[in-house]
Copies of this chain bind each other. A is one copy, B any other.
Amino acid sequence: MERTLIGDLAGKKGEAVLIQGWVSVRRDQGKMVFFDFRDRSGVVQGVTLPASAAIETAKEVRNEYVVAVEGKVNERPEKNRKEGAQNGDIELEVTGITIISKSEIPFELGTEVNLDTYLDHMPFTLRTEKAKQIFKTQEAIIAGFREGMKGQGFTEFQAPALVGGDAEGGASAFEVDYYYDKKAFLATSPQFYKQIMVGVFERAFATPKVFRGEKHATTRHLSEYSSLDFEMGFIKDHTDVMAALEHTMRLIVQKAGVEVAMPTKIPVLKLREVQKILGVAEEPDLEPEHERAICEWALKEHNSDFVFVTHYPVSKRPFYTYEDENDKGFTKSFDLLFRGLEITTGGQRVHNHDELVERMKAKGLKPELFSYYLQAFKVGLPPHGGSATGLERLTARLLNLPNVKEATLFPRDLNRIDTLLSTDKKG
């Protein structure tokens, strides 16, 4: 018999069918055995009646066994229906069960466990409906990002992960043993490549993995994450970038199908305005608690879960950030905060070759290490800017997950790659 997907059973009332999937729940009631079966399309209740030829196998089966089940699709008695639930009005009368794979589970799926235990068992714990929903939402976010950018004339490109130098001079790039004792690094961002692509496609986006070797152990840092990056040419200033981002973010929120407070226009504040509102000192950056506080303010005053903060000081931004000619010492840069967390960083970039070289020198960087990147400026780049949004941070805040690791398939951090790292020395 051909397999029927569980999601298609409702249209087969009265028919004999074959389903294949996992046993989510098994309730042995002595004479009868009840099941919840699941496959990629959904769940259905099964019942093995006392007279069924399948009753012995039904008693042998355990949770997470992979099974092929033959049965008849019956309407449920009215009193047992689950209104609104998928297949709430049908059940599968089991006539045969074949065990495809057995299972030995470490604990019941859905058991409340601490985060380390959850992460150590992801090949198992990802199977809950809650976990699956997180990564279905993440899939929708990334699809929304692509659609939002393509709809605005952007071209998708593949940014490299291996780069030749720790170009921005931070200590945060992981080093790679490349060929013959040569060294390479893992990209901390596709920044230089997307700027190069402005010279090619004018508007370009990418969704690469990026790598940060920062020694942070927080609820919002990852050593490897997905970055939703774009860069666009011929801008007036950073507000054009913010508008492109806001347009895409609106589509992402819609695709994710989550309730978000988002007014017609996201409120925009200069960093110094934020600090004035919060009554805190003028520091070059916001502390996490200030990010939370200004988001609370934006929700209260503007009914917005989002708030743009602009004009970070030159000293706190990378060398390529454009200084505001009308507000010297401050940059045409922005962060986008969402529900208490910075999810995006962006701004206008310096597009003049000679000015860029000067800015490198002023930050103590060696222009000769940037010769590949600088080529793009030598052959003419327009005023441009862009932004980078952390996919996992956005996912986590959209779903109100306390830790970004819950929104990450296979998170990597200080102590973890898949499971906790051993303390073996490199050798």
B103 touches A424 (CB 8 A): no
In chain A, positions 46-71 with a C-beta closer than 8 Å to chain B are 64-66
Contact call A200/B132, Cβ cutoff below 8 A:
yes
In the docked arrangement, what's the CA distance between A178 and B214, Å? Answer: 11
Q: Which of A78-86, A273-281, A413-421 contacts B (4 or more CB under 8 A)?
A: A413-421
Q: Do B379 and A123 have beta carbons less than 8 Å apart? A: yes
Is the CB of A208 closer than 8 A to any CB of chain B?
A: yes
Mark out the residues of chain A between 307 and 321 whose CB falls within 8 Å of any chain B CB in the assembled complex.
none
Q: Which residues of B contact A163 (CB under 8 A)?
A: 417-418
Stoichiometry (number of copies): 2
Q: Mark A332-359, 1 if CB is under 8 A from B, else 0.
A: 0000000000000000000110000000
A211 proximal to B (CB < 8 A): yes
Which chain B residues border A323 with CB–CB below 8 Å?
A: none
- Closest partner residue, chain B, to A410 (CB atom): B160
Q: Is A215 in contact with chain B by the CB < 8 A criterion? A: yes
Is A380 a contact of B102 with CB atoms below 8 Å?
yes
Q: Which of A135-184 contact B (CB under 8 A)?
A: 135-136, 138-139, 142-143, 153, 155-164, 174-179, 181-184
Q: A184-B417, A379-B64 are in contact. Are A196 and B122 (CB under 8 A)?
A: yes
Contact across chains for A65 and B373 when beta carbons are under 8 A apart: no
Among B208, B381, B421, point to the contact of A182 (Cβ < 8 A).
B421
In the complex, which residue of chain B has the Cβ closest to the Cβ of A136? B155
Counting CB contacts under 8 A, is A31 at the interface? no
Q: Across the two chains, which residue of chain B brings its CB closest to A376?
A: B123
Asked if A373 and B175 sit within 8 Å, CB to CB, the answer is: no
Q: Which of A226, A417, A424, A425: most chain B Cβ within 10 A?
A: A417
Q: How far is the CB of A135 from chain B (nearest CB, A)?
A: 6
Kindly list 8 other residue pairs between chains A and B, CB separation below 8 angstroms, not including A66-B380, A123-B376, A157-B409.
Answer: A40-B203, A65-B380, A105-B379, A106-B379, A135-B200, A160-B224, A183-B426, A372-B418
Give 15 pairs: A residue, B residue, CB < 8 Å, sorted on A.
Answer: A21-B202, A40-B203, A100-B382, A101-B352, A122-B196, A123-B372, A124-B376, A126-B200, A160-B224, A162-B224, A179-B414, A182-B421, A182-B422, A209-B209, A372-B419
